[in-house]
Amino acid sequence: MFSGIVEEMAILTGIEHEQENIHFTFKCSFTKELKIDQSIAHNGVCLTVVRFRDDTYTVTAMKETLERSNLGLLKVGDRVNIERSMIMNGRLDGHIVQGHVDQTAECINMEDADGSTYFTFKYPYKREMAQRGYFTVDKGSVTVNGVSLTVCEPTEDSFKVAIIPYTRENTNFVDISIGSIVNIEFDILGKYIARLNRLSQWFHLRPLSLACRWLSSWRLLAWFSLCACVPLVSLCV
């Protein structure tokens, strides 16, 4: 699980094809801190570290990941946004990001906004997917190339985001132009709500009633998790 707060940009130094998989080798400032089997988000895609060599690390992307994301378009020398998985005792500065990219989108417009920049992205609209929660809402959250962003002016197949200078300079938004392909992950909350709505129709329940039951179960789970953690904290102290 990630938060959409990019730590830095990694440089792609090598690409190796193995059947339908691709091994990507990257270089970043914290390579020495990584471990085998650790999860790292690359342009929003959760990938597992499989080996190290000198000051680089390698991750593997399978066929489905390549089909859903822009990783297959990468070239040696490209910069990708990277983020290590969340530490659960810290602040959630972005929003809940799974690292499971839903699809790609194309940058169709860029506008200056007195220092910041508005980017507009367009993605293929599918009614069935929208009914399953694959959509954006005004002031909601969306992940673009692993960056947690707030949605502006959403339509059924596009949305706009505002990028401040710091974000543009410290992520690969600096490399995005009209025609660029980016990874997008829709907000998981929207998917759950859409699922609850469909379940309510199947079981003839009111969506609000079903949502309340779902939230109650999450509160119960959180309570048991807290109870389980207290003895562990006591032992650590």
On whether both 117 and 164 belong to a single domain, the answer is yes
**Are the beta carbons of 4 and 148 closer than 8 angstroms?**
yes
- 182 lies in the same domain as 221: no
pLDDT confidence of residue 190: 83
Q: What is the pLDDT of residue 235?
A: 36
Q: State the total domains in the chain.
A: 3
Mean pLDDT by 10 residues, the chain (237 residues): 94 97 97 96 98 96 96 97 89 88 97 93 92 91 96 96 96 97 93 81 58 52 46 39
Q: 184 and 123, same structural domain?
A: yes
Q: Are residues 186 and 212 in the same domain?
A: no
pTM of the model: 0.82
The answer to whether residue 236 is domain-embedded is no
Both 111 and 162 in one domain: the answer is: yes
The reply to whether 95 falls in a domain is: no
Asked whether residue 179 is assigned to any structural domain, the reply reads yes
Task: Give the pLDDT confidence score for residue 191 in this predicted structure.
Answer: 87
Domain annotation covers residue 152: yes
CB neighbourhood size of 217 (10 A): 10
The domain of 52 spans 8-84
Beta strands in the chain (DSSP E): 8-18, 21-27, 39-42, 45-53, 56-61, 79-84, 103-113, 116-122, 141-144, 147-150, 158-163, 181-186
> Same structural domain for residues 135 and 214?
no
Which helix (H) or strand (E) segment holds residue 195: the answer is helix 188-202
The verdict on 186 and 197 lying in the same domain is no
Per-residue pLDDT at 74: 97
Please check whether residues 60 and 110 belong to one and the same domain. Answer: no
How far is CA 155 from its chain centroid? 20
Q: Are residues 144 and 182 in the same domain?
A: yes
Judge if 169 and 220 occupy the same domain.
no
Residue 93 lies in a domain: no
Q: Residues 182, 207: one domain?
A: no
